[in-house]
Amino acid sequence: MVQSAVLGFPRIGAQRELKKVTEAYWSGKATVDELFQVGKELREKNWKLQKEAGVDIIPSNDFSFYDQVLDHSLLFNVIPDRYSKYNLPAIDTLFAMGRGLQRPATETSPAVDVTALEMVKWFDSNYHYVRPTFSKTVEFKLNSSKPVDEFLEAKALGIHTRPVLVGPVSYLYLGKADKDNLELEPITLLEKLLPVYAELLAKLKEAGADTVQIDEPVLVLDLPAEVQAAYKTAYEYLASETAPKLFLTTYFGDVRPNIASIKGLPVAGVHADFVRVPEQLDEVVAALSPSQILSVGIVNGRNIWKSNFAKAIDFVNSAIAKVGAERVIVATSSSLLHTPVTLASEKKIPAEIKDWFAFATEKVTEVVTIAKAVTDGTESIAEVLAANAKSISARETSSITNDAAVRERVAKITEDQARRKSPFGVRLAAQKKALGIPLFPTTTIGSFPQTKDIRIVRNKFTKGEITAEEYEKFIEKEIADVVKFQEEVGLDVLVHGEPERNDMVQYFGEKLNGFVFTTNGWVQSYGSRYVRPPIVVGDVSRPGPMTVKESKYAQSITKKPMKGMLTGPVTCLRWSFPRDDISAKLQAQQLALALRDEVQDLEAAGVYVIQVDEPAIREGLPLRAGAERDDYVNWAVESFRLATSGVEDSTQIHSHFCYSDLDPNHIKALDADVVSIEFSKKDDPKYIQEFSEYPNHIGLGLFDIHSPRVPAKDEFVGRIADILKVYPQENLWVNPDCGLKTRGWTETRASLQNMVDAAKEFRAKY
């Protein structure tokens, strides 16, 4: 019988239970017991759901209160001294490392003031993990029993699970050296780390685990030779009598370039992502020994589209033909963490379209269905298959997915449309004249705190409890407050604060043709921050202006330049669930044309600074160097330029990037007049060099907006002084890392005031 496997299930809960209790805990409104209780209930629910669906191999330890990679850092005692010195309870250390912690002394405990660890994109997804950070004093030891506890918890419910661990090579390679230890290459710590893995594996075996899913996703990256070689060392060490069987799991890409690292490893089987790279089947099969099992990742863990059963079954059958049914497992391509929990709560999506979707819960059933079809033959589920085929062909032929006018406009795009009128120097002179911006200009990235108030009123509006007019009044008042606030603090280029936006992509999606929305389709982005990605279902176009009213109003109430605020084409696409029936490039072009019209409308309305955010441009980069990556860079850059190049020289185009290690060359190619980059957590001084050749203007983010911590003025001064050692002062902007929407007003005011005061100090000097 061909078994079915799920590699991981979303932990946030169908009603965002995890977010609610975590945030309540942070604000002192829930106890630690309540927090743990909700965690326990969520795990139980997820396991039972999978069990009832008929999944044979169900994961455990896929749950996390913040991030699964951070859990491993706690587990292996990879806790820099600046956190451990406070002797906080483990759960608070976890949160301190994830999001920073600043709190005054109490009678029983000293004051705490510590920044968060760096957080970066998880491969090419919109999930972020907390980067393992290895300081000089790192001493690996087994510091918790989480994987064992969760295995036993499931066992007590009568559910035998396959615990999930991040494998040692990936864990190290995804980490970095701490600032006290910059010469360290984390992979050199492998031999010290392995005994701790072995100890953990032994405990899992004692608890009754027969197999462990060991995730080595870095196998889809271009790996240096010493990392490729580390696999043999690691797995020969770990495979032993005292360990459960190890199931080596890769996902999100192509393992072929590292296939030599896998060959001959003493593991029970290998999982690969055949949704992404079906072409790798032969080579993966060839790398297996006759006793090793092949886990066929065939149900897409990264999108919301229903599987095409006929195709999937064919593919699994081709794998069976190569290795035999007893050696094949049917699985999700990756963890289902990246898809919303269930379609069941979606009541508003038109039935015709809803029928094209499958979320995590539905995907679980798909895996079981495919496994059944290849075991018992397609006749056994003829009806299910017929319904699936009908739904697939309905989407292919639907009028929703095709708009001739949009296709035609894309076909007519010219090269000129993607070039500004003049080179940067000429534009800069025109902008200086038009905008009157001082040296060390201060600005923010766009959003200001989104208080409960705003959310309540927005909800009322969505539900029709208040009129559009009332809502508009409220938004105007918010904008006016934010403008006043910025003038008080003394910022130079203002923003309207984005109070009308629930989310930087959804907001635009709602105003464009071609998107649909979920009511509850949340996906974890990081920690307690979830996003609800819109879904691109058809060709995209702009029926009318999207942001002009708010920006125009904001500009009308201040003499300072107001920055219009848009989300770029690539980010709109990356942070949506894209279509899988036309290319990403074509979808980006459609979005770019819609945004181009918006940019021109803003300019016409008197908004002469326009920021087009592209924080997701990096995450879309194909994971390996080569033709596919070059092609991506080309169309990503072109679509940004297409969106932004329709303005006069005197209009200043900004862009913003966060969350990832960017390539300065890609940023340069966008030819924005000013870019702002998340930077405050890059503690290696060499990073300051990275953009030093950047020809246009630049703002390296000066404080972490994920944390409520307030940096003192001197901290800003020190930071700017460091940057000035490398950058010419006339190129520098002064800004935070990113938007302030998740922050509170108190820390926002304090941080920005210190930042502005620091900028003024420098301005006085030059």
What residue ranges bind ligand GLN (CB under 6 A)?
Answer: 445-447, 498, 504, 565, 613, 615, 656, 658, 738-739, 741
Identify what 565 binds: ligand GLN, Zn ion, none; CB under 5 to 8 Å per kind.
ligand GLN
Asked if 569 and 639 touch (Cβ cutoff 8 Å), the reply is yes
Query: Closest distance between ligand GLN and the C-beta of residue 322, in Å?
Result: 44
194 touches which of ligand GLN, Zn ion, none (CB within 5 to 8 A by kind)?
A: none
Residue closest to ligand GLN (Cβ): 739
| Binder of residue 427, out of ligand GLN, Zn ion, none (CB less than 5 to 8 A by kind) | none
Query: Of 215 and 550, which has the nearer Cβ to ligand GLN?
Result: 550
Q: Which of 738, 740, 755, 758 binds Zn ion (CB under 5 A)?
A: 738
For Zn ion (CB under 5 A), the number of binding residues is 3
**Residue 656 bridge partners (DSSP):** 613, 676
| 293 sits in which H/E element | strand 293-299
Q: What's the CA gap between 258 and 170, in Å, rounded?
A: 13
CB of 657 to Zn ion, least distance (A): 7
319 binds, among ligand GLN, Zn ion, none (CB under 5 to 8 A by kind): none
d(CA 169, CA 227): 7
CB of 727 to ligand GLN, least distance (A): 22
**Cβ closer to Zn ion: 39 or 527?**
527
Question: Burial level of 702, CB count in 10 A (0-12/13-18/19+)?
Answer: buried
Q: Residue 165: phi, psi to the nearest 5? A: -125, 150
Locate 471 and state its tokens: 């809502």
According to the binding rule CB under 5 A, does residue 667 interact with Zn ion?
A: no
Nearer to ligand GLN, 168 or 497 (CB): 497
The item of ligand GLN, Zn ion, none sharing an interface with residue 741, based on CB under 5 to 8 Å by kind, is ligand GLN
Contact 338, 358 (CB under 8 A): no
- DSSP summary character for residue 349: S
Closest CA to 752 of 477, 451, 498, 485: 485
Tokens for 292?
């090793």
Closest CB 751 distance from Zn ion, rounded Å: 16
| C-alpha separations of 189 from 84, 134, 139, 166, 603 in Å | 20, 9, 10, 16, 54
Determine the Cα angle at 123 with ends 141 and 225, to 5°. Answer: 70
String of contacts with Zn ion for each residue 688-727, x by CB under 5 A: ----------------------------------------
Q: How many other CB atoms sit within 10 Å of the CB of residue 323? A: 18
Instruction: Report the DSSP beta bridge partners of residue 245.
Output: 211
Judged by beta carbon, residue 270 or residue 738, the one nearer Zn ion is: 738
Of these partners, ligand GLN, Zn ion, none, which one is at the site of residue 164 (CB under 5 to 8 Å by kind)? Answer: none
**Which among 312, 316, 321, 294 is positioned nearest to 366, based on CA atoms?**
312
**Cβ closer to ligand GLN: 542 or 706?**
706
Residue 687 CB partners (closer than 8 Å, separation 6+): 679
Contact of 720 with 758, CB cutoff 8 Å: yes
Q: CA 371 to CA 365: how far, in whole Å?
A: 10
Choice between 372 and 741, CB closer to ligand GLN: 741
Strand 119-121 relative to strand 128-130, pairing: antiparallel
Say which entry of ligand GLN, Zn ion, none residue 504 contacts (CB below 5 to 8 A, set by partner kind): ligand GLN
DSSP codes of every residue in 78-91? ---HHHHTT---HH
State the minimum distance, in angstroms, from the CB of residue 620 to ligand GLN: 14
| Pairwise CA distance, residues 615 & 574, whole Å | 10
Which among ligand GLN, Zn ion, none contacts residue 418 (Cβ within 5 to 8 A by kind)?
A: none
Q: Which CB sits closer to ligand GLN, 340 or 615? A: 615
Least distance from ligand GLN to the Cβ atom of residue 526, Å: 11
Residue located via tokens 């997701």: 616
**Which region, judged by CB under 5 A, interacts with Zn ion, from 284-292, 374-382, 540-548, 651-659?**
651-659
Least Cβ distance, residue 436 to ligand GLN (angstroms): 23
CB 394 within 8 A of CB 530: no
- Min dist. Cβ of residue 446 to ligand GLN (A): 3
Closer residue to ligand GLN, CB minimum distance, 254 or 498: 498
Return the one option of Zn ion, ligand GLN, none that residue 653 interacts with (CB less than 5 to 8 A, by type): none
Contacts of 758 (CB under 8 A, 6+ apart): 713, 714, 716, 717, 720, 734
- For residue 165, the cross-strand partners are 214
DSSP state of 694: -
DSSP classification of residue 288? S
Strand 101-103 and strand 112-114: the pairing is antiparallel
Q: Which amino acid is at 61?
A: N
- Please identify every residue annotated as catalytic: 706
Whole-angstrom distance, CA of residue 521 vs CA of residue 530: 10
Identify which of residues 573 and 738 has a Cβ nearer to Zn ion in the complex.
Answer: 738
Beta carbon nearer to ligand GLN, 190 or 672: 672
Stretch that binds Zn ion, among 324-332, 465-473, 522-530, 652-660 (CB under 5 A): 652-660
Q: Which stretch binds Zn ion (CB under 5 A): 54-62, 344-352, 381-389, 736-744?
A: 736-744
What is the largest distance, in Å, between two alpha-carbon atoms of the chain? 81
Q: How far is the CB of 618 from ligand GLN (least distance, A)?
A: 12
The DSSP result for 703-754, as a single string, is: S-TTS-----HHHHHHHHHHHHTTS-GGGEEB--SS--TTS-HHHHHHHHHH
Segment lying near Zn ion (by CB under 5 A), choices 56-64, 156-164, 711-719, 732-740:
732-740
Which is nearest to 678 in space by CA: 696, 702, 707?
A: 702
Helices marked H in 11-31: 17-26
Q: Which residue's CB is nearer to ligand GLN, number 128 or number 719?
A: 128
What is the x/- site pattern for Zn ion, positions 610-639, by CB under 5 A? -----x------------------------
Question: Using CB under 5 A, which of the segments 106-114, 568-576, 625-633, 738-746 binds Zn ion?
Answer: 738-746
In angstroms, what is the minimal distance from the CB of 444 to ligand GLN? 7
Of the chain, the end-to-end C-alpha distance in Å amounts to: 76
Binding partner of residue 281 among ligand GLN, Zn ion, none, CB under 5 to 8 Å per kind? none
CB of 697 to ligand GLN, least distance (A): 18
Q: Which residues, other chains included, contact 66 with Cβ-Cβ below 8 Å and sequence gap of 6+?
A: 22, 94, 95, 98, 99, 130, 527, 528
**Could you say which of 658, 672, 700, 759 contacts Zn ion (CB under 5 A)?**
658
Sequence-separated (6 or more) residues with CB below 8 Å from residue 449: 740, 741, 742, 743, 744, 745, 748
Neighbours of 427 (CB within 10 A): 22
- In the complex with ligand GLN, the residue whose CB is nearer, 410 or 675, is 675
The partner in contact with residue 147, picked from Zn ion, ligand GLN, none with C-beta cut-offs of 5 to 8 angstroms by kind, is none
Query: What's the min distance (Å) between Cβ of 541 and ligand GLN?
Result: 23
Q: Considering the complex, state which of residue 284 and residue 512 has its C-beta at the smaller distance from ligand GLN.
A: 512
Kindly state the smallest distance separating residue 571's Cβ from ligand GLN, in Å. 8
Residues that bind Zn ion (CB under 5 A): 615, 658, 738
